[in-house]
Structure 1
């Protein structure tokens, strides 16, 4: 299922977001049409993975796809652990910062670890990823949780694992928002796009409708998380750890649809 074209690259068109990632600091907000502001944790995103992040990553299985990787702290941590990992983000600044934080690959087969792409566009290794991450509010991508969960299910192997960060309140909201860097921004500032905000009960409810089953839910460091699994594989399914998961991510000229190789 595809996201509306206007929603696919909204983050990439939000100049305040790109500027904040380049400098590593805010302030930065999601602004709703009624003027409500949600502060975004740019400094935490641009820092190294913290203890709560690392505990989440301990739960990851096999090859990991980080959807909406931002400036790459989780991709960097997983790569340092020797895991097969790919981060995707529609923001050129986010992908560039992720690549800049990664050590050069040990061999060409290691491929790119960051790709400028929407989750709703074709991706390498579809149907073979062991774990997908939706952290830092990324369950809101596209403003349609059902469509996002269906898409993620298609990226994972049968029985694969989704780990998502949810809000610490029981909310299930969809809204048009903008990325702004000042409290007094006007509705004319920034490019509006669809976003969703979900607490754990809402995520689990949408997950059940999309055929997922709950694996775990927990709180740590003032943050909330849920783990869900897709339907189990049949005996003839492909083994989970395919060596070809990101073999297509060889070095090539970067573009809006191309991987940025770690060199």
Structure 2
């Protein structure tokens, strides 16, 4: 597997600026002008009660895909859990590290430490949309997890299944480069989850979640042996 190039939005000023200030507004904008507000303030705050309830379900070593500014990584690290965040944004990785978490600047489709050995993979805050290819993302996640490992995904609060090319934009109309994204409600995610066992679904605080358990043995693997191993592989 070769390392993928940085995604076009990773250097987008609107996203980096929002993470620096800890507030929006920040939106995903489709070509037709439709805007999806992004919850920057919540992402940059400490893990809330709903987040903590999700994290209580995590098993083994945890990989937070699209960790953003790192609130979930920091919460798990504070509990003494082995956890690694990955994000394509340098600003997000830097923020996570400042909170005391371990993070790498990587795409989920890049080579990653511990492939095939993670106990839990998190796809929170709409990250089931990464790459605009839900089935491809689920297949990749299955290869990251240990056999019987757990995927916890946050789905859209409405019944939706769409893929679109979007931009990041702020109130001043600064715009990043376009990238592919998907929005999935719970029913849509479950349709794509062939080969997974359903491990639960629930709603809390106006948010919706699905837990899926991998069935197939994974072929790889360097185990996430320790925090030291994870730390030594941090990307600059």
Q: Shorter-chain TM-score category?
A: over 0.9
Q: Does 1:88 align with 2:86?
A: yes
The offset of 1:15, in angstroms, is 1.4
CA contact (8 A) 2:9 2:176 kept: no
CA distance in 2, matches of 1:27, 1:175: 21
Q: How large is the RMSD of aligned CA atoms in angstroms?
A: 2.5
User: Aligned residue for 1:192?
Assistant: 178
User: Aligned residue for 1:225?
Assistant: 209
CA contact (8 A) 1:165 1:224 kept: yes
Q: Does 1:249 align with 2:235?
A: no
CA contact (8 A) 2:8 2:176 kept: no
CA distance in 2, matches of 1:222, 1:81: 25
> In the comparison of the two structures, how many residue pairs are matched?
236
CA displacement 1:32-63 (0-9 Å, x = unmatched): 00000000000000000000000000000010
SS in 2 for 1:119: coil
CA contact (8 A) 2:224 2:230 kept: no
User: Aligned residue for 1:259?
Assistant: 235
Change (3 A) 1:154 1:55: same
Structure 2 unaligned segments of length 5 or more: list them.
none
Q: Does 1:32 align with 2:30?
A: yes
CA distance in 2, matches of 1:26, 1:181: 7
Structure 1: 4+ residue segments shifted above 2 A: 245-252
CA contact (8 A) 1:172 1:198 kept: yes
The offset of 1:248, in angstroms, is 3.5
User: Aligned residue for 1:154?
Assistant: 143
The offset of 1:169, in angstroms, is 1.0
The offset of 1:251, in angstroms, is 4.2
CA contact (8 A) 2:69 2:93 kept: yes
Structure 1 unaligned segments of length 5 or more: list them.
104-112, 253-257
Q: Does 1:140 align with 2:138?
A: no
The offset of 1:245, in angstroms, is 5.7
CA distance in 2, matches of 1:224, 1:206: 17
Give 1:1-263 correspondences, 5 Å limit.
Answer: 9-102=7-100, 113-182=102-171, 185=173, 189-208=175-194, 211-231=195-215, 242=223, 244=225, 247-251=228-232, 258-259=234-235
Q: How does the TM-score come out when normalised to structure 2? A: 0.92
Q: How does the TM-score come out when normalised to structure 1? A: 0.83
CA distance in 2, matches of 1:34, 1:122: 35
CA contact (8 A) 1:70 1:98 kept: yes
The offset of 1:244, in angstroms, is 1.7
CA contact (8 A) 2:47 2:71 kept: yes
